[in-house]
Structure 1
Amino acid sequence: RINRQLMELSKRLGRWTQPILSGGSIPATKYDTEQQQLYLPGHDYSITDAELVGIDKNRQTLIESLCLEDCSLRIIAVWGMGGLGKSTLVNNVYKNEATVSNFNYRAWLSISQSCRVLDIWRNMLKELCGKESREFDAENMSSTELKVELTKILDQKRYLIILDDVWLATDFLKIREVLVDNGLGSRVIITTRIEEVASIAENGCKISLEPLDNHDAWLLFCRKAFPKIEDHICPPELEQCGMDIIDKCDGLPLALVAIGSLLSFKSKNKKDWRLFYNQLISEVHNNENLNRVEKILNLSYKHLPNYLKNCFLYLCYVPRRLHYPEKEIN
């Protein structure tokens, strides 16, 4: 009888628990599914160029990095926490800057945590060759064949390649095997959350993104929350509640855009907005228009080593006033 009970407990254990991965390793399969359901990691397609705020300085730095007179291959890193708009910034330059047209070959590749080098190389070949890719059966090419063909192509012309959402330096080093330094001023831009990955770039070619200040955060929020109002001006009766929501977003463009867009569909009265603010945490968890914010930020949590995850969870139980005692005083 005891043996039967132990066997049943063992089966339950297998159904309800999974082994903890050591060293902060991350299961990739679920990430792949979530990534396909969301969009390119970190890139918010609901932001138009006219709505971008607070990126002018970083945008200019990125353009200057592309236009350096140095003809050697340069690696440029745009890094910062999830939701800061790394991909949005790079995409703006990639789409709109005339300087980008000076590159003979261009490719945008989404890497992610579940990086598969062969798939990256196949996609790179398709992106670089465009219609000419029909000449290549990339899906059936071996690693050696892909490497030879890509090296041959990239050795001939000036190229710009975007590697979006790189999580491991070792992944980049594998991909880099085909990135030829052809002396023509080619550039590779990496977007990443990880400082170690960003350190691959030279000091003059690293762009660290920070949260928006209160002024820019308010501008972005109002542009999304009041798209039909002239100059996107917030009604006076909603200003205080709007500022409280801004404070919760802590300057994170991803959250500001998602919450502002959702509020644009709600009635413009103080009672409804205050109710939304009071239920904001629940909304982020349960509203399908907002829970993508949680999913993207959770990727950073999942990447933490186990001892930091425990520390992070412990801090969640500490009252907010102990984190920011000066706020309680003020």
Structure 2
Amino acid sequence: MADNAISFVLNNLSQLLVRQASLLFEVDDKVRSLQSELSMINVLLKTSQGKTKKEIDKEVVRQIRDVAYEAEDIIDTFIVNVAMHKRRTMLERMLHYFEYAKLRHNVAEKIESIKATVNEIRDNKLKFADIFQQEAESSSSTIKEEERVQLMHKKRRNVEEHNVVGFVSESKAVIQLLKEKSTQSNVASIIGMGGLGKTTLARKVYNCHEIKSYFGCRAWVYVSNDCRVKELLIGLIKCLMPNLQYEHGMAVDELKLMVREFLTTRRYLVVLDDLWKTQDWDEVQDAFPNNNNGSKILITSRLKEVASHTSPYPPYYLQLLSEDESWELFSKKVFRGEECPSDIEHLGKQMVKSCGGLPLSIVVLAGLLANKENSHREWSRVVGHVNCYDNLPARLKPCFLYFGMYPEDFEIPLRPLVQKWVAEGFIKQSGTRNAEDVGEDYLYEPIDRSLIQASRVNINGDVKACRIHDLLRDLCISEAKEYKLFEVCRDSNILEGSRPRRVSIQCGMDRYVSSSNNDHSCVRSLFCFDRRHSYNSGEWKCLFKCFKLVRTLDLEMDMCMKVPSNLSLFIHLSGIWNLKQLRHLHTNGSIIVLRGRHSSKASVEVMWNLQTIYFIKFNREIACMLEKGRFPKLRTLGLYISSVDKHNVQHELLSSIQRLTHLRKLQLSFQLKYKVQKPSNYNQMEWHVGCKPIELLHSMQQLSNLSTLFGLCNV
């Protein structure tokens, strides 16, 4: 992980030297020199990835990581101060001349000091002796990149487990519980320790044909230890009534009434997965009517008292797997229907026995061994040293730990996750392959190792969303904290005195800032998952003041209804159309390119990295930018078209989209009253309502990469 930290800093320094040349010109030689020193250290450390556990080596990599982060902080802070100085008037610059000269002198001294520290670490060759010796060993077991990519494409075809080992009799028992009619309670429970497979069993029952045909409607929601009743109810509404429009500002009682009225006349099954607190049940139970028609609520929980509180009937207690069931589960994951070689069967059973019948431990062990050679030599190295994180390839480690940034039981959409990996510098373009495509391969590896669960899969078998088990999430959080990759801030865990590079705030932003003594200048990625309120002007002001150096910012669309114009106070996020490294722009259609003195400049500067614009209002300015090839690599485009001048709109739209040869997905939202015929030459189309004429579709025939087209009509 230390060399990853240095790689990120090196990449950022390279970009800063190019993009901020005018702000660094007085110290650029020193920055380049420091970059060279860090590059040499990075070369040395690349051989140590996951290979050494000696405390002296661990201390060395901690020192180097801290030095790299310190260098990044110094240079970023210098850029902010120079940018502020350049905004001053001529008179103000003269008044602050000596202050500015002192600033340049200080940053030069600090960089020289960091270089001296880097040289001192590098010259102590004894600390790196073990690292150099392991290079030869690591190279022999490395799979060629081409073979790995091909293997991943094969594994994409089977990411879900339909035949769950050991749950045949358990499924029958739970199905019987669900079909029993009772006048006292309509609640059934599955109870067991973490990692035992409660969710897996519930999901198998939920999806079986017998249950689907018995219940008229079904819904599944994840509760978790940090239950928020309003979010739970909204999740139920989305599941039960996906086409229903609701207001985010609705009260909890109003949402309960919506759910209750919908369920009253139906025989329903609702699964509340991972319920922890009796009070959470008390707050939500009146949303579920009991009309003695066979409806059921199925609860999964680790706690017996939760089951006793929700129903007078005894829960179903899920047991540990037997030795035979444990070996069957392990063999299915590792050998995929083939026989276990006789020379490694004893080793395999020894390791499986150490899992104690816990399915999660077994599948993680199986995922680890499934990626190794089935030989006594390879397996003997694993005995007694099973650690799912340490055995990950170095390129996957930061990606896996990143799952800990999300709240417990959070369904993580695939595409935004991969986009964040790329933005963070975890993934690079490989040959002709786009970095996002490489990132999708990265996702399937932890799925194949059973570290991540595919929660949503489309009809083609591609993963659309995923989840991580809370026990593995805890591992991610603890490992990430040790390596200073990120920290999570919750109501019960307000960070004090730490200097994380990335922060996931799962409590109120105001609480985090007001309760923390942290120096926020070190934060480069900021995630906020508190959906209890939208941001007010005070919290925006707090963001601008405390997190000036943020590069990756995710405030959740439900919380952020309007982005203020002074977003440019984030030095790395200023001026959307000037962000040459911008890859994905997602808005609700509120961004408009206006006519003005900058429009001609905006229409000719090329944004080579931009791949997504979704949604933006279509007008002559954006048409000009598209037509002149400002976005040559665009893959996803969403346009909101509100003009009533249908002829001009059609002409400008036709002219502009013809240049988008890389386009894969196009969504057009019209306020025009036209119908359209579905063309036959698109290999995948989701077409809801029509928009005008057939010429529009004919013009798209040359977009050979287009696979998805949406036409939305708002009349």
In the TM superposition, what are the counterparts of 1:259-274 in structure 2 within 5 Å?
259-274=365-380
Question: Which runs of 5 or more structure 1 residues have no equivalent in the other structure?
Answer: 1-44, 303-330
Q: Retained in 1: the 8 A contact 2:185–2:312?
A: no
Residues 105, 138 of structure 1: alpha-carbon distance in 2 compared, 3 angstrom cutoff: farther
> Is the aligned partner of 1:118 residue 2:230?
yes
Instruction: Give the letter for the 2:298 counterpart.
Output: I
Structure richer in helix, relative to its length: 1
In the TM superposition, what are the counterparts of 1:1-330 in structure 2 within 5 Å?
48-50=161-163, 52-70=164-182, 73-131=185-243, 133=244, 136-202=245-311, 204-227=313-336, 231-280=337-386, 282-283=387-388, 287=392, 288=400, 289=446, 296=471
Looking at structure 1, the residues matched to 200 and 469 of structure 2 have their Cα atoms a distance apart, in angstroms, of 18
Looking at structure 2, the residues matched to 56 and 267 of structure 1 have their Cα atoms a distance apart, in angstroms, of 31
Looking at structure 2, the residues matched to 186 and 200 of structure 1 have their Cα atoms a distance apart, in angstroms, of 19
Instruction: Give the letter for the 2:224 counterpart.
Output: S
Q: Shift of the alpha carbon at 1:294?
A: 9.0
Looking at structure 2, the residues matched to 138 and 249 of structure 1 have their Cα atoms a distance apart, in angstroms, of 47
SS at match of 1:140: coil
Q: TM-score, normalised by structure 1?
A: 0.69
Residues 141, 128 of structure 1: alpha-carbon distance in 2 compared, 3 angstrom cutoff: same
Looking at structure 1, the residues matched to 275 and 281 of structure 2 have their Cα atoms a distance apart, in angstroms, of 7
Residues 297, 251 of structure 1: alpha-carbon distance in 2 compared, 3 angstrom cutoff: farther
Q: Retained in 2: the 8 A contact 1:71–1:184?
A: no
Q: Retained in 2: the 8 A contact 1:77–1:206?
A: yes
Write out per-residue CA displacement over residues 271-301 of structure 1, whole angstroms, 9 at most, x where no aligned residue: 1101012321x4456645577799517869x
Residues 202, 61 of structure 1: alpha-carbon distance in 2 compared, 3 angstrom cutoff: farther
Instruction: Give the letter for the 2:162 counterpart.
Output: D
1:42 corresponds to which residue? none
SS at match of 2:221: strand
Residues 240, 274 of structure 1: alpha-carbon distance in 2 compared, 3 angstrom cutoff: same
2:505 corresponds to which residue? none
Q: Shift of the alpha carbon at 1:70?
A: 3.3
Instruction: Give the letter for the 2:240 counterpart.
Output: L
Q: Shift of the alpha carbon at 1:179?
A: 1.1
Q: TM-score, normalised by structure 2?
A: 0.33
Question: Which runs of 5 or more structure 2 residues have no equivalent in the other structure?
Answer: 1-157, 393-399, 401-445, 453-467, 479-715
Q: Shift of the alpha carbon at 1:138?
A: 4.3
Stretches of 4+ moved more than 2 A in 1?
69-73, 97-102, 200-205, 282-295, 297-300
Q: Retained in 2: the 8 A contact 1:73–1:186?
A: no
SS at match of 1:61: helix
Looking at structure 1, the residues matched to 268 and 469 of structure 2 have their Cα atoms a distance apart, in angstroms, of 35
Residues 161, 138 of structure 1: alpha-carbon distance in 2 compared, 3 angstrom cutoff: farther
Write out per-residue CA displacement over residues 93-138 of structure 1, whole angstroms, 9 at most, x where no aligned residue: 111232333222211000011100011111111211123x2xx314
Instruction: Give the letter for the 2:319 counterpart.
Output: E
Q: Shift of the alpha carbon at 1:233?
A: 2.0
Q: Retained in 1: the 8 A contact 2:171–2:205?
A: yes
Q: Retained in 2: the 8 A contact 1:165–1:191?
A: yes
Larger C-alpha radius of gyration, 1 or 2? 2
Instruction: Supply the RMSD in Å over aligned alpha carbons.
Output: 2.6
Query: How many percent of aligned residue pairs carry the same amino acid?
Result: 29
